[in-house]
Amino acid sequence: MILHRTMGALLLSVALLGLAGCESAKDKAARHLASALELIDKGDADRALVEFRNVFQLDPENVEARARFAAFLRDRGDLPGAYAQFQAVIDREPQNEEALRGAAEVAAKMGNWPEAGRQASALLALTPGDGAIQAIKLASDYAAAATAGDAKGRDAAEAEAKRQLVARPDDLYLRRVVIDARAQNRDFKGALTALDVALQIFPEEVSLYTVRVSLMAALEDKAGVEATLIDMDKRFADPGAGATLLRWYVSNNEMDKAEAWLRAKAEAPGNAGLEARVQLILFLKQARSPDAALAEIEAALKLAPEAPDPAAPDTSVTQAKLRVLGASILFDAGRRDEGIAAMKAILDGAPPSDEMRLTKVTLARMYLTVGDLVQSRALTEEVLKEEPGNIEAAKLKSGWLIDEDKTDDAVATLRAALEQAPGDAQTMSLLAEAYGRAGSRDLQADMLSQAVEASGKAPGESLRYASFLATDQKYLPAEAVLVNALRLAPDNLEILAALGDIYLRLKDWPRAEGVANRLEEIGSPEARAIADRLRPIILSERDNVGAAVDYLRGLAQGSGDLRNQVALISAYLSDGKQIEARALAADILAKAPDDLNARYIMASVQGATGEGKAAIETFRALVTEEPKAVQLWIALIRQSAQENGQPSIPPLVDEALTHLPDMPDLLLMKANILEGAQDIEGAIAIYEKLYAADSGNLAVANNLASLLSSYRTDKESLDRAWTVARRLNGTDIPALADTYGWLAHLRGQTTEALPYLELAAKGLAQDPMVQFHYAEALKAAGKGEEAKLHYGRVLELVPPEDSRAFAVTARKELGQ
């Protein structure tokens, strides 16, 4: 009997194991979801994140889990991740009101107004009377009007916001429409009054304080800016407010005040004081000297713990971290070997730890700077093997993934990093770069915008976003981004230069003049150089070339600076004053007859004024003396082509390449020569070499993708071309539009391709290949008669004996 009872127990055990083994994937997913929710309740967000990922591995269609995950990410501050999850719910259940609401709210919070408006419209179709969503839709309409420079649309949206505020006085988005509309109309005092009302309702809304800083700066209320930033630093845990205050002190040249503020913060006990001391060290390195920063490190070493205190988990500053900082300062000061050696000494024999991983990442960055990619990657991978979620290592790795066009991997890596540090502006900027490389321009724009906000409108992030907007000819939004950044850094030359360029493109001469005036007030040599570049353009574009020449003449005579003299020569030539140009070049040469630059200037003027043979002789003498100067070779090649025709180019390019075999400009010329000679594979090989050296070069990427797609038909080559060309999405440059459109057509996306190919065909009317691409797409779209016109255009542009495949096809299509 005992045997029977034991056997019964054994059978029962086996049966239970069998039942467990039969648990479905959905059941397992439900257990992981329950565990995730329990961990959230306990405040263990990191482990909850792992459990959510387990859910989706088992049951990717679990709508409830995605909705919960979206809310979790939103509460954690990962707004892009939250939006993606809300959208995933909507994709599965288009009328899910909570998901539509969540998506609209998150998009609005991110400032992605087109998406916020789209989601709000979808929800309002289901619940027309939802006041909160009506406010988001109104804010979206206002943003669209502001972006388009539609003053009437802005004013109408403001009036509607005021009307809705009667019923919804505590709606943040309605308040922000009113505030921004007044600011756009340059009623800064009125905007500030409206903002103060909003702050009484939302005293902890950080975005309102950021707007307050901008308004104070617009009113030139420096005390108000300082007070608001100090209040933000005390009120919010976000270190970005303190960083913005520090940048503001520096931009206003209040170095002593900045140092005093940092030293006061460094007096705080424990880790908080040490973190402030690290900021002080970085400030001293930048504003004072590397030696001052190193001296401060020595003082800090006496206060910092040797290792993290297990009883104080927030300990982030230790002696090891300070030594790493010291090594970095040595490296950045040009003492690179010392810096690398110091880093190696810190790592020598040290066991794995957070500190040592930070050290390895820092050393990896040093190796990357000196061009040792193998060591850099090895250290980065070593860190990620020890700690897969290490954010700084993830950023480094994402950089080379983007360079290798592995954008899906880069996005996944950066998204995971952003989940851990939702407010990291650098991660957002890298993610924007990855999206751009993948051709996702909407996502790129969204992430660039978020990086600006996360950085507190820092110059770097603002310049990147403004450049992106300007590329899309969105000059007014670009201006707004730059103006907001300039208010916090009024002497930043890069911002002023970019703003000046925006005003030149807008032909807003008074404001361009204002930028030039501000640069002259700053008065540094760099500032004056930018102003001197802007003023002649402003004068000449106002159809006053004579005034522009007079201005440059004054500069050249007043300063004696060679750059100003060259600018004056260029102005003389543009104005048809060849005698004056030659005279000034001769004067420069007479003062320094053996100077390479003076001889180069004279040769350039000779070439521009009909003395081509003399110019060639001078350029030939110069390259003989300086065979490694690529600019001289290019000048010689161009002048020879002008004087002796295209056949003179190939031997000169080959000669130049014997001295400069890896020079990109010369290799581009060589590739162009090979393409013209129908050595397509030779040209592709050069473009592959150039692309491997710099995959971010847009011209190289375009040319490589164009040749691959135009002359090869195998799937591997076409897939490679698409990977390279995806970034061209949205372009309005004819050559780039042809490449992107042709590849889109080859991938079966002819409807998307046609606008690009039409643009290219109009812009490159003399290029037979471009006309052929458009004809092929028109034929595929069922527009046969229109296609024949462009096949005919192809044959007009090629000789009758042309045997290239596209020419043969064009003849067949026309029955020839």
Q: DSSP letters along 512-574, please?
A: HHHHHHHHHHH--HHHHHHHHHHHHHHHHHTT-HHHHHHHHHHHHHHH--HHHHHHHHHHHHH
Instruction: State the DSSP string of 725-746.
Output: HGGGTT---HHHHHHHHHHHHH
Compute the distance between CA of residue 680 and CA of residue 664 in angstroms, rounded to an integer.
18
Write the CA distances from 264 to 218, 228, 258, 276, 317, integer angstroms: 29, 18, 10, 9, 18
Q: Which of 238, 236, 182, 239 is nearest to 214 (CA)?
A: 182
**Which residues lie below 8 Å from residue 136, measured CB to CB, with a gap of 6+?**
104, 105, 108, 116, 117, 120, 173
Q: Would you say 346 and 384 are in contact if contact means Cβ atoms under 8 Å apart?
A: no
Q: What are the structure tokens assigned to 164, written together? A: 């809705």
Residue 9: predicted pLDDT: 40
Compute the distance between CA of residue 99 and CA of residue 24 in angstroms, rounded to an integer.
27
Compute the distance between CA of residue 459 and CA of residue 714 in angstroms, rounded to an integer.
45
Q: Would you say 140 and 156 are in contact if contact means Cβ atoms under 8 Å apart?
A: no
Residue 73: predicted pLDDT: 87
Q: What are the structure tokens assigned to 689, written together? A: 């070499």
Q: What are the structure tokens assigned to 161, written together? A: 């916001």
What is the CA angle 109-423-220, rounded to 5?
75
In the numeric block, the tokens 């003299």 are attached to 565
In the numeric block, the tokens 């002819």 are attached to 750
Residue 503: predicted pLDDT: 92
Q: What are the structure tokens assigned to 804, written together? A: 């290239």
Q: Which amino acid is at 491?
A: D
Q: Which of 282, 244, 250 is nearest to 266 (CA)?
A: 282
Q: How many helices (H) and strands (E) does the chain have?
A: 46, 0
SS3 245: helix
Q: What are the structure tokens assigned to 414, written together? A: 């950066």
**Which residues lie below 8 Å from residue 269, measured CB to CB, with a gap of 6+?**
none
Compute the distance between CA of residue 100 and CA of residue 122 in angstroms, rounded to an integer.
7
Q: Which of 98, 145, 157, 156 is nearest to 126 (CA)?
A: 98
- 101: Cα separation from own chain's centroid: 30
Residue 540: predicted pLDDT: 67
Instruction: State the DSSP string of 744-773.
Output: HHHTT-HHHHHHHHHHHHHHTTT-HHHHHH
Q: What are the structure tokens assigned to 357, written together? A: 């991983």
Q: Which helix (H) or strand (E) holds 812?
A: helix 805-813
Compute the distance between CA of residue 555 and CA of residue 246 in angstroms, rounded to an integer.
36
Instruction: State the DSSP string of 182-247.
Output: HHHTT-HHHHHHHHHHHHHH-TT-HHHHHHHHHHHHHTT-HHHHHHHHHHHHHH---HHHHHHHHH
Burial 521-536 (b: 16+ CB within 10 A, else e): ebeeeebbebbbbbbb
**Which residues lie below 8 Å from residue 721, measured CB to CB, with a gap of 6+?**
704, 705, 706, 708, 709, 712, 743
Compute the distance between CA of residue 106 and CA of residue 113 in angstroms, rounded to an integer.
10
Q: Which amino acid is at 239?
A: P
Question: Residue ranges of the domains in the chain?
Answer: 318-387, 729-816
DSSP classification of residue 461: H
Q: Where are the alpha helices (DSSP H) in 387-492?
A: 391-403, 407-420, 425-437, 441-454, 459-471, 475-488
Q: Which of 129, 154, 130 is nearest to 143 (CA)?
A: 154
The pTM for the full model equals: 0.77
Q: Which of 134, 61, 63 is nearest to 95 (CA)?
A: 63
In the numeric block, the tokens 């970034």 are attached to 727
The string of pLDDT tens digits covering residues 443-453 is 899 899 999 98
Compute the distance between CA of residue 115 and CA of residue 103 in angstroms, rounded to an integer.
8
Q: Would you say 772 and 809 are in contact if contact means Cβ atoms under 8 Å apart?
A: yes
What is the CA angle 655-659-665, rounded to 5?
80
Write the CA distances from 346 to 304, 358, 578, integer angstroms: 16, 11, 64
Residue 15: predicted pLDDT: 39
Q: What are the structure tokens assigned to 209, written together? A: 């304080």
The string of pLDDT tens digits covering residues 468-522 is 999 988 899 999 999 999 988 888 999 999 999 999 999 898 898 899 889 988 9
Q: Would you say 240 and 456 are in contact if contact means Cβ atoms under 8 Å apart?
A: yes
Compute the distance between CA of residue 392 and CA of residue 190 in angstroms, rounded to an integer.
43
User: Which residues, given as ranges, of the chain have pLDDT below 70?
Assistant: 1-23, 309-315, 540-562
Taking 3-state DSSP, the helix, strand and coil percentages for the chain, each rounded to the nearest 5, stand at: 80, 0, 20
Q: Which of 257, 201, 268, 184 is nearest to 234 (CA)?
A: 268
Radius of gyration of the chain measured on its C-alpha atoms? 32
Residue 565: predicted pLDDT: 75
Instruction: State the DSSP string of 374-416.
Output: HHHHHHHHHHHHH-TT-HHHHHHHHHHHHHTT-HHHHHHHHHH
**Which residues lie below 8 Å from residue 499, measured CB to CB, with a gap of 6+?**
479, 482, 483, 486, 515
729-816: what fold? 1.25.40
Instruction: State the DSSP string of 112-165.
Output: -HHHHHHHHHHHHHH-TT-HHHHHHHHHHHHHHHHHTT-HHHHHHHHHHHHHHH
Write the CA distances from 670 to 100, 643, 648, 662, 675, integer angstroms: 55, 20, 13, 11, 9
Residue 586: predicted pLDDT: 85
Q: What are the structure tokens assigned to 29, written together? A: 């997913």
Q: Which of 672, 597, 586, 594 is nearest to 637 (CA)?
A: 672
Q: Which amino acid is at 370?
A: V
